[in-house]
């Protein structure tokens, strides 16, 4: 604008920080009275020093797009920075063992921010069993952005090594994968990637574990990100994505993208996520205890169960070398698509829904729902069994959950109830008509 302005205002406008909002130091200090630098994670989750002017116990929602004032003030425009969002980011940085955390409007938004640092010709090495949305975004970038994407079986370190080179700009990992629950060696791959190219950015999608159970940055990753829609929020009432880094340069690049594209998490959603995070430890403990009992129940009754809490998981040792728990997502096979469909339709407490991480238990058939956007030939190539059922276990009473599952197994004809209890499943080979509702990848 060319209208003459008084000196003071001109000075103010020239100093407004529209490119790089000066964030307060992160992580925010917590000051345990016992002299340690940090409290245990379960304490850090609930404890915050907000510095609020009225000592509010809950961080206020600064539902304001703009902030008045002149030079030197912390906030001017909520796309660039908002106190509620900053508080969440500082809180998350501590929990994610990161020097800096950033929050955006969804998990896919986080993936978009991270992959925007790629340039045409850059190579990405990633898994062959990725979250559908990640797969879709990478495919778009390959087709439209000149990015070379190499999908390999990331459970095999030698295959990953063979795909790595000095052209590898990014390695994108997910562990455990979903719904095949395959484990990927984060530390091994991070070392190999940095040997191939010291500038390669190793990014880990930590959604299945959450920072309560796994910290990829401590294992050598450069970026950890996850969908806050899942365990971090825990109630399926908000969408969010979080990114954690130790490198200040990477943090600045991601912040630049968030400020440029305007995908920073809104104040109210930041507040909802802050509230959800406070109960992460209790929810996760209860959810994984329930999941473990259900996994054992299904395994005992003859189903092929995939869950890293079970000793029968072929990568049990690897998983426990990098994570503190098994999480609350498991999958099992029944031997028949029709039988799986009948089971999924017969549960009541386990609601049919995509997604996971909620306090409620969910059941789904990935090939019909979350992974329906992957064509059948690719699903076959990736050995994704069409009859696989995924359970995302919530915090309900365990006996009620097992009863619900038991009656569904009986009604579906997967097991029969005798005086001795359940007897092993009958296998069915005919694939009858599909009745499960097809829900596309969100
Ligand atoms: C849900 C999910 C995402 C995407 O997160 P949104 O918040 O739904 O955008 C990414 N990765 C994994 C592993 C997920 O489960």
Rounded percentage of the chain residues whose pLDDT exceeds 70: 86
Q: Looking at ligand 1, which atom is closest to the CA of residue 239?
A: 7
Tell me the CA distances in angstroms from 180 to 4, 128, 201, 239, 329, one per residue in order: 65, 11, 25, 24, 10
Distance 336 CA to ligand 1 centre (A): 28
> Can you tell me the mean pLDDT for 166-171?
98
CATH number of the domain within which 233 lies: 3.40.640.10
What does DSSP assign to residue 219? G
What does DSSP assign to residue 225? E
102 Cβ neighbours under 8 A, 6+ residues apart: 89, 113, 242, 243, 244, 251, 254, 255, 258, 264
Closest CA to 231 of 252, 217, 213, 258: 213
Q: Which residues line ligand 1 (CB under 6 A)?
A: 106-108, 131, 133-134, 174, 178, 205, 207-208, 227, 229-230, 239, 241
Distance 375 CA to ligand 1 centre (A): 20
Query: Can you tell me the distance from the alpha carbon of 119 to that of 169, in angstroms, rounded to the nearest whole number?
Result: 9
327 and 397, same domain (yes or no): yes
199 and 334, same domain (yes or no): no
Residue at which a domain ends, from 277, 294, 323: 277
**Probe target for ligand 1 pocket from 111, 131, 181, 228, with the most ligand atoms within 8 Å of CB:** 131
Query: Can you tell me the distance from the alpha carbon of 409 to that of 415, in angstroms, rounded to the nearest whole number?
Result: 6
CATH number of the domain within which 323 lies: 3.90.1150.10
Minimal-distance CA residue to ligand 1 atom 1: 227
Report how far Cα 369 is from the mean position of its chain's Cα atoms: 18
Q: Which residue has the higher pLDDT, 4 or 220?
A: 220
pLDDT band at 336 (very low <50, low <70, confident <90, very high): very high
**How many other CB atoms are found less than 10 A from the CB of residue 290?**
21
State the virtual CA torsion across 126, 128, 129, 130 in degrees, nearest 10.
40
Domain limits at 303? 281-438
pLDDT band at 417 (very low <50, low <70, confident <90, very high): confident
CB-facing half-sphere around the CA of 391: CA atoms within 13 A: 33
Tell me the CA distances in angstroms from 163 to 137, 154, 178, 283, 289, one per residue in order: 20, 10, 23, 39, 38
Residue at which a domain ends, from 228, 243, 277: 277
3-state DSSP assignment of residue 350:
coil
293 and 255, same domain (yes or no): no
346 and 268, same domain (yes or no): no
251 and 303, same domain (yes or no): no
**pTM passes above 0.75:** yes
267 and 191, same domain (yes or no): yes
Q: Looking at ligand 1, which atom is closest to the CA of residue 208?
A: 13
Closest CA to 103 of 95, 93, 115: 93
Residue 38 in this model has a pLDDT that exceeds 70: yes
Distance 167 CA to ligand 1 centre (A): 27
Distance 108 CA to ligand 1 centre (A): 6
3-state DSSP assignment of residue 347:
coil
Return the active site residues.
79, 131, 205, 230
Least confidently predicted of 36-40, 154-158, 192-196, 212-216:
36-40
Distance 105 CA to ligand 1 centre (A): 11
212 and 351, same domain (yes or no): no
**Inter-residue contact 147 to 154 (CB < 8 Å):** no
Query: Can you tell me the distance from the alpha carbon of 218 to that of 410, in angstroms, rounded to the nearest whole number?
Result: 45
Residue 25 in this model has a pLDDT that exceeds 90: no
Residue 14 in this model has a pLDDT that exceeds 60: no
164 and 240, same domain (yes or no): yes
Distance 358 CA to ligand 1 centre (A): 13
Q: Which residue has the higher pLDDT, 205 or 425?
A: 205
244 and 345, same domain (yes or no): no
Minimal-distance CA residue to ligand 1 atom 5: 107
What does DSSP assign to residue 77? B
> Can you tell me the mean pLDDT for 47-66?
87
143 Cβ neighbours under 8 A, 6+ residues apart: none
**Probe target for ligand 1 pocket from 227, 228, 390, with the most ligand atoms within 8 Å of CB:** 227
Q: Looking at ligand 1, which atom is closest to the CA of residue 207?
A: 13
Tokens 């990725």 found at: 130
**Probe target for ligand 1 pocket from 135, 173, 226, 230, with the most ligand atoms within 8 Å of CB:** 230
- pLDDT digit string (tens) for 84-117? 999 999 999 999 999 999 999 999 999 999 999 9
245 and 318, same domain (yes or no): no
- pLDDT digit string (tens) for 180-236? 999 999 999 999 999 999 999 999 999 999 999 999 999 999 999 999 999 999 999
56 and 177, same domain (yes or no): yes
Residue 3 in this model has a pLDDT that exceeds 50: no
- pLDDT digit string (tens) for 271-294? 999 999 999 999 999 999 999 999
365 Cβ neighbours under 8 A, 6+ residues apart: 340, 341, 344, 387, 388, 389, 390, 436
Query: Can you tell me the distance from the alpha carbon of 228 to that of 356, in angstroms, rounded to the nearest whole number?
Result: 11
Q: Per the structure, how many domains does the chain have? A: 2
Residue at which a domain ends, from 277, 310, 326: 277
pLDDT band at 5 (very low <50, low <70, confident <90, very high): very low
Q: Which residue has the higher pLDDT, 442 or 40?
A: 40
**And the tokens for 161?**
């090594």
Residue 434 in this model has a pLDDT that exceeds 70: no
Least confidently predicted of 48-62, 146-160, 247-261, 424-438:
424-438
pLDDT band at 4 (very low <50, low <70, confident <90, very high): very low
Q: Looking at ligand 1, which atom is closest to the CA of residue 174?
A: 13
DSSP 418-433: ETTEEE-PPP------
Instruction: Provide the pLDDT for residue 9.
Output: 45
Tokens 């995939």 found at: 306
Instruction: Provide the pLDDT for residue 423.
Output: 66
Residue 16 in this model has a pLDDT that exceeds 60: no
- pLDDT digit string (tens) for 65-83? 999 987 778 899 999 999 9
Tokens 């029944």 found at: 334
Residue 20 in this model has a pLDDT that exceeds 90: no
pLDDT band at 23 (very low <50, low <70, confident <90, very high): very low
């Amino acid at each position: 604008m060319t209208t003459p302005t008084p000196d003071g205002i001109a000075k103010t406008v020239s100093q407004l920080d529209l490119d790089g909002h000066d964030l307060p130091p992160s992580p925010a200090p917590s000051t345990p009275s016992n002299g340690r630098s940090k409290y245990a994670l379960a304490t850090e989750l609930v404890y915050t020093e907000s510095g609020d002017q009225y000592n509010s116990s809950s961080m206020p929602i600064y539902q304001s797009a703009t902030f008045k004032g002149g030079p030197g003030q912390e906030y001017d425009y909520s796309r660039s920075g908002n106190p509620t969002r900053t508080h969440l980011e500082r809180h998350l940085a501590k929990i994610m063992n990161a020097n800096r955390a950033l929050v955006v409007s969804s998990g896919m938004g986080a993936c978009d921010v991270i992959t925007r640092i790629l340039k045409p010709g850059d190579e990405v090495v990633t898994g062959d069993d990725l979250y559908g949305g990640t797969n879709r975004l990478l495919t778009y970038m390959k087709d439209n952005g000149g990015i070379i994407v190499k999908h390999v079986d990331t459970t095999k370190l030698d295959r990953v090594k063979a795909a790595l080179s000095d052209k590898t700009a990014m390695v994108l990992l997910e562990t455990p994968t979903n719904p095949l629950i395959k484990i990927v060696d984060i530390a091994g791959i991070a070392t190999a990637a940095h040997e191939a190219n010291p500038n390669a950015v190793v990014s880990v999608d930590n959604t299945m574990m959450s920072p309560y159970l796994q910290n990829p940055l401590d294992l050598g990753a450069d970026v950890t990100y996850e969908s806050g829609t899942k365990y971090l929020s825990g109630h399926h009432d908000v969408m969010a994505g979080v990114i954690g880094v130790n490198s200040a340069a990477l943090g600045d690049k991601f912040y630049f993208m968030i400020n440029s594209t305007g995908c920073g998490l809104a104040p109210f959603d930041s507040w909802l996520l802050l509230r959800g995070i406070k109960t992460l430890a209790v929810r996760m403990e209860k959810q994984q205890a329930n999941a473990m009992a259900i996994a054992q129940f299904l395994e005992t009754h003859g189903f092929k169960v995939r869950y890293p809490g079970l000793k029968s998981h072929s990568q049990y040792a690897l998983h426990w070398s990098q994570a503190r728990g098994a999480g609350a997502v498991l999958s099992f096979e029944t031997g028949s698509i029709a039988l799986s469909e009948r089971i999924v339709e017969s549960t009541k407490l386990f609601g049919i829904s995509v997604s996971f991480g909620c306090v409620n238990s969910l059941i789904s058939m990935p090939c019909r729902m979350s992974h329906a956007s992957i064509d059948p030939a690719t699903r076959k190539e990736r050995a994704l069994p069409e009859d696989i059922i995924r359970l995302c276990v919530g915090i309900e009473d365990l006996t009620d959950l097992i009863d619900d599952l038991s009656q569904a197994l009986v009604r579906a004809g997967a097991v029969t109830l005798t005086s001795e209890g359940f007897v092993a499943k009958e296998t069915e080979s005919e694939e009858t008509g599909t009745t499960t509702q097809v829900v596309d990848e969100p």
